[in-house]
Amino acid sequence: MTMTLKMASAPHLRLTERSAALSLDVLIALVPLCVFSFVHYGVRPVLLVLTGIVTAVVCELLCCAFMRRKPSVLDGTAAVTGGLVGAMMSPLSPYWLPVIAAAFAILVVKMPFGGARPECLQSRRRGARGGDGLFSRPGVSLPLRGPAPAPSFGGYQRCPHRPSPRICS
C-alpha cells in the first residue's frame, strides 16, 4: 500500500475561534457603552460610532484595492478601529471628526504598516488622538477630570438631548 502523506507542524488541533470572533466580542462590548451614551446624550454618540465604523471599513476596502491585496475587512479589525475611534469622541463632536480620525487610523497608521499586525502603533488611539489634536475645540474635547470647559458650540451642532452635558461635576 502506498500512501501520499502530507507534512505539517504540531499542533494538529486548533481552536476554531477566529480573529473575527474576537473583533465581534469587542464590538459587542461597545454596545452597552452606546446604550449609555444614547440614554445620556441621545442618538448622536451612536451615530458617531457608526460613522467611525463605516469610514474605517470603507477606507480599508479602498486601501486593499489600491494595494491590490485581498480585502481583510472580514477579520473585523477595521470595524473595531472605527468603532473605538467613534466611541472615544465627545458626544458634541461633528460627524466629520470620526471620519477624519478613522481615515487617519486606517490610511496613515494601520495599512501602510502591514494591516492588522502593528498593534504597537495603536491605530485606534492614534486615530482618535490625531483627529482630536488636529481639530479639537472647546466643547469638543471634554476633559475626564476637573471642571468642564464652558461649552462653545460655535460652528457645531448643539447636542439635542441635553444641551449642557455634565461629564464631571
* Residues at the site binding other proteins, with contacts judged by CB under 8 A: 1, 3-19, 21-23, 72, 75, 77, 114-117, 119-120
Smallest separation (angstroms) from other proteins to the CB of 108: 18
- Note whether 27 and 73 are within 8 A (CB): no
Smallest separation (angstroms) from other proteins to the CB of 80: 9
64 vs 148, which CB is nearer to other proteins? 64
Question: Looking up cell 471599513, which residue turns up?
Answer: 57
Q: Residue 139 region, left (φ>0) first, then alpha (ψ -120 to 50), else beta?
A: left
7 vs 150, which CB is nearer to other proteins? 7
Rounded to 5°, the CA angle 81-82-87 comes to: 100
d(CA 7, CA 134): 53
d(CA 130, CA 157): 21
115 vs 139, which CB is nearer to other proteins? 115
d(CA 101, CA 112): 16
70 vs 145, which CB is nearer to other proteins? 70
108 vs 148, which CB is nearer to other proteins? 108
Question: Looking up cell 471642571, which residue turns up?
Answer: 147
Smallest separation (angstroms) from other proteins to the CB of 8: 5
Smallest separation (angstroms) from other proteins to the CB of 95: 28
Smallest separation (angstroms) from other proteins to the CB of 86: 19
Rounded to 5°, the CA angle 51-56-61 comes to: 130
